[in-house]
Amino acid sequence: METFFPEDETILANTTSIGMQPKIEETPIPKHALSAYALVFDAVYTPKMTRLLLEAEESGAAVVTGVEMFIGQAYEQYERFTGLPAPKELFRGTMSNL
- What pLDDT, in 10s, does the model give residues 40-98? 999 999 999 999 999 999 999 999 999 999 999 999 999 999 999 999 999 888 887 76
One domain for residues 53 and 79: no
Instruction: Note the pTM of the prediction, 2 decimals.
Output: 0.81
Query: Reduced to 3 states, what is the DSSP secondary structure of residue 55?
Result: helix
Do residues 59 and 25 both lie within one domain? yes
Parent domain of 46: 1-64
47 and 3 co-located in one domain: yes
Q: Is residue 32's pLDDT more than 70?
A: yes
Using DSSP, how many helices (H) and how many strands (E) does the chain show?
Answer: 3, 3
Q: What local confidence, expressed as pLDDT, does residue 8 receive?
A: 59
Residues 82, 71 share a domain: yes
Residue 95 is predicted with a pLDDT of 83
User: Which residues, at least 6 apart from 78, have a Cβ–Cβ distance to it below 8 Å?
Assistant: 84, 86, 87, 91
